[in-house]
Structure formats: C-alpha cells, structure tokens
Amino acid sequence: MISKINARVPLRVKLIGAFATVILLGGVTAYWLVERAVREGFQAFSFQNGIIHAYELQQPLADYYSQVGSWRGIENFLNAAGSQSPMGSEMMPQMGPAMLLYHYNLILADEQGTILLAPDPQFVNRQLTPGALISGVPINVAGRRVGTLLAGSAENAYNPLEQAFFGSISRSILIASLIAALGALFVGALLMRQLTQPLRRLARATEQIASGNSGPTPRLPVPSRDELGQLSAAFNRMAERLERSEHLRRQMTADIAHELRTPLTVIQGNLQALLDGVLNPTPEAIASLHEETQLLNRIVNDLRDLSLAEAGELRLHRQPTDLRELVQRVVAAFQSSMKSKALKLVLEVPEVPLQLETDPERIAQVLFNLLSNAQRHTPQSGRITVRVWRQTEEVLVSVSDTGPGIAPQDLPYVFERFWREDKSRTRASGGSGLGLAIAKQFIEAHGGQIGVENSPGQGATFTFRLPWTQPSTAKTP
C-alpha cells in the first residue's frame, strides 16, 4: 500500500519531504548538541567558580562549628551574616556567607555527607556520593572533618537565576534552530524547483517523442553546465539524431522505392511490349532485360550487405593478403574503363609487400567503389591517384581525384545511403548511392576507419586505414 502511494507522489514532493526530514533530524541533533555543550561549559565554569569561593567560606564556617559544636542554627547564622553575625564582620567576607552560598551556587553538607543547605531546597537532606565528598572543600575542626562545601553544579543543583539562564539559552537555541530549519527548507524548496523543472521538461519532451509527435522533435533549454545541463544537452543531441535518422529513414525508403522502381518499370515496359508484339524478342531485347535484372539483384545484395554490416553480422573471410598486390590488381582491372574519358590513373605503392589478415573480396569491393566514385566526379582528361603506404601499426589506402570536390555542407552525408551530391543526377549517371555507404561499413567491419578530405574546386581524397595485423606466416617487410 505504501509503495503504491509512494509511486503516485511527485518527485518534487518526495525530495522536499526527504529534505525536510534531513533538516528536522539535523535541527534536533544540533539543538541537543549545542544545548548540551552550553550546559556542560556552564557547569564546568560554575564548578570552578564555586570551588574558589568555597575556600573563602571554609574558615568562617569552621569557626562557627567550633563555637556552636554542631551545624545547628547554621541557616539562621548565614541569613544573619554580615553586620548581624554573632561572629562579627571581621570573620565574614565582604559579600556575606549566605549571599556567597546563593550567588556562587554552593552546597553545605555535614560530616556524614547529608546536605544541609543548597541553592535548590529540594536537594536538602539528600546524601552526597563518596565521589562528590572527595571533590568538595573540607571543613575541619580540631583535625576532624565536620563538613564539606561543594559547588552546586556537581550535583546539578542550580539557583533560580541559573535555572532562568538555562531556560533562556534553551529557548534561544530552539528558536534559532527553527529559524534555520525554515530558512533551509525555503532554500531547499527553491533548489528542488531548479532540480525538478528540467526533469519535468525532459519528461514532457520524452513523452512527445514516445507518442510519435508528427511535429519537429522538441528541444530543451540548457541553462547551466552541471549534470542537469549536460542531461539536457545530451537529450538535444539525441533528439537531433532521432530527427535526422527519421529523415534519413524516410529518404531511404523513398530512394529504395525509386531505385527499384526504375529497373522494374523498364522490365515491365519491355515485357508488355513483347506481349503486345510491339517489340520483337531479339537477343538485344532479352539482353536489356537481363541487364536490368542484374541491376535489381545488385541493389538488393548491396542493401543486404549493408544491413548485415550495420547489425554486426557481416561474415569476413580473413586470410593472409598482400594489400599492395590486391590494389594493383583492382587498379589494373579499372584501367580500361578510364579510356572513355581519357582519365589518367596513377598508382603509388611501396616496393615491399604489405601482408595483413583481411577479407580480400571486401577490400577489393571497397576500392572498386571508391574508384567508381572518383571516375564519375573526375572531368575529361583528369587524373585519379591511388596511394598505398604503411604508418606505424596501420596500412592506409587513398583515392584522390581532380574533380570539383564536395561542398562543405555535404561532407557529413557522404557515407549515407543513397546520398548524391547532385540530386538531379539519374541512376545511370550517378550510381545507386550505396557505394560509399558499403565502403564505410566494410572498412569498419575490419576494425578500420574511412574518411574524406576535400578541397572544393580541386578534388576530394578518400582514405581508409586498416590495422596492420601481420600474418604469422608472413615475413616482416
């Protein structure tokens, strides 16, 4: 039952309740400690002060006992102290014994330890403990201890003035504790507001996202750099990525539909023409249909490879591979396709082999995709440069072109699916838009990285790097 009620209570109320509980406990503890410290300090002061003045009364009281032979009438003697004292004012201190006993909070006990006089009448006729008798000032007559003077604080016996003082101190401490508690509770409520307000905003924004709000993804203000500010900033980054991912998802769906619709439309149109007798089933017509089916198959395979790579389920058939020889083979196969645009293909490789464990087919496909991209963007009689080199524990391969380069605002999207810098390009001139995305996933599946450096108007350079994991059977270069 308590857990159900607790689940319905707002966080702000819980925090204020917890804060109030801590303040209450702290206030009670502080009140008890301060009051005790004041009482103990005053008690120590009163005890020392009482002992000092007990020595002042030691001799007058001893003389009284010597003359009377007992403590009979001592109360009347003290009340009649000063000029009324039968012993004369010379034997009495200036203040008078009665006033000294009262003012300095002294207790007078007989030789058995029975209290005869005390500031608080309720202590009269009580028996002192042996420890209290030892700590008191003895009153001796003819070598015999006939009484004891003791500071009243030793027995917690205080005169009315001291009791009033303690009451005033206790009330002052209590009032101060209450004021401090109320002030702390007020400050705590303000702090709770500052703490829970960003959390409420975060809860509302999260609920909007969870409910599938069709509007723009909400953002949170970042008023500070503390943990709440960092949380709001992290939420904003997440919202931005979600918004971008949603945009890319919709764009990708549209792109996939477009990429598949184009060859399907061609196939459907040609088949309809064959059925209507408009087109003769010549080998050329059938070859055109076959080419479109191959394009469909390639798009589907590329999408499948991308999905596997992003899910971390792409299987790599690693084997000892000479990366230098692999690059040379791919570049040689690409030479013939460069002749139509009179492009110059330059290859820069080290003189020694670069053996490493990798999947040669996947790396060859990455290089083929980069070369195809460079070929599309390099103008007539341009140049494409392929470099291979080793750097510490990595092997790097770069493909540079002399094309127009990539606009700075487009650089973050180069490796996205179906991305094309020129949105008006057709599939025939611009590719399917999957080549760079596949290259990125394949390189990252090998534990490497791929990036692009760009100089608008001077071309772009794509570089990928692979960990140099030398096979155990290969010789070190």
Higher-pLDDT residue of 420 and 256 is 256
- How large a percentage of the chain has pLDDT more than 90? 10
Instruction: Answer yes or no: is pLDDT of 213 > 70.
Output: no
Q: Which of 438, 375, 366 is closest to 396 using CA atoms?
A: 366
Encoded tokens for 3 = 């857990």
**462 pLDDT above the threshold of 90:** yes
Which is more confident, 89 or 224? 224
pLDDT-based confidence at residue 123 (cuts at 50, 70, 90)? confident
d(CA 355, CA 324): 8
Q: 28-37, 335-344, 429-438: which has the minimum mean pLDDT?
A: 429-438
Q: What is the reported pLDDT for 347?
A: 92
Mean pLDDT for 158-170 is: 72
Amino acid at site 81: A
pLDDT band for 11, please (50, 70, 90 cuts).
Answer: low
- Grouping H, G, I as helix, E, B as strand and the rest as coil, residue 221 is coil
Q: Is the pLDDT of residue 48 over 90?
A: no
Query: Comparing 36-45, 368-377, 388-397, which segment has the lowest mean pLDDT?
Result: 36-45
What 3-state DSSP class applies to 219? coil
Is a pLDDT exceeding 80 seen at residue 175?
A: yes
Nearest-10 Cα torsion for 260, 261, 263, 265: 160
Q: What are phi and psi of 454, to 5 degrees?
A: -135, 140
Q: What's the length of the chain? A: 477
pLDDT at 253 (0 to 100): 73
pLDDT range class, residue 464, cuts 50, 70, 90: very high
Query: What is the reported pLDDT for 429?
Result: 43
More confident residue, 85 or 330: 330
Q: How far apart are CA 56 and CA 2, in angstroms?
A: 67
Q: Tell me which DSSP letter residue 69 carries.
A: S
pLDDT(430) > 70: no
Tell me: pLDDT of 81 over 70: no
Q: How confident is the model at residue 426 (pLDDT cuts 50, 70, 90)?
A: very low
Grade residue 93 by pLDDT with cuts at 50, 70 and 90. Answer: very low
Distance of CA 119 to the CA centre of its chain: 63
Asked if CATH classification 3.30.450 holds for the domain at 2-161, the reply, yes or no, is yes
If phi over 0 gives left and psi between -120 and 50 gives alpha, with beta otherwise, what is residue 269? alpha
Q: What are the start-end ranges of the H helices in 126-214?
A: 130-135, 160-210
Best CA proximity match to 20, nearest among 9, 32, 28: 28
For residue 436, pLDDT beyond 60: yes
pLDDT of residue 463: 94
The answer on pLDDT for 83 being more than 60 is: no
* Amino acid 100: pLDDT: 56
Per-residue tokens: 423: 């949105």
Q: Would you say domain 319-467 falls under CATH 3.30.565.10?
A: yes
- Residue among 271, 306, 294, 258 nearest 441 (CA): 306
Query: What pLDDT is stored for residue 102 in this prediction?
Result: 61
Query: 46: closest CA among 116, 171, 150?
Result: 150
Q: How far is residue 436's CA from residue 431's CA, in Å, rounded to a whole number?
A: 11
pLDDT of residue 61: 84
For helices 435-445 and 360-377, what crossing angle results, to 10°?
150
Q: Which residue has the higher pLDDT, 98 or 340?
A: 340
Those residues with Cβ within 8 angstroms of residue 335's Cβ, 6 or more apart along the chain or in another chain = 345
User: With contact defined as beta carbons under 8 Å apart, do 356 and 323 qualify?
Assistant: yes
Task: Tell me the mean pLDDT in the region 222-226.
Answer: 76
pLDDT of residue 325: 93
CB contact set of 465 (below 8 Å; sequence gap of 6+)? 391, 394, 395, 396, 397, 448, 449, 450
- Mean pLDDT value across the chain: 78
Residue 427 has pLDDT above 60, yes or no: no
Determine the average pLDDT of the residues in 334-348. 84
Higher pLDDT, 461 or 209: 461
- The confidence score (pLDDT) of residue 43 equals 73
CATH architecture, domain defined by 227-310? Orthogonal Bundle (1.10)
Task: Give the β-pairing of 106-110 and 449-455.
Answer: unpaired
Q: What are the sequence ranges of the domains in the chain?
A: 2-161, 227-310, 319-467
Lowest mean pLDDT among 295-304, 305-314, 320-329, 422-431: 422-431
CA-based nearest residue to 111, from 63, 78, 79, 70: 70
pLDDT at 469 over 50: yes
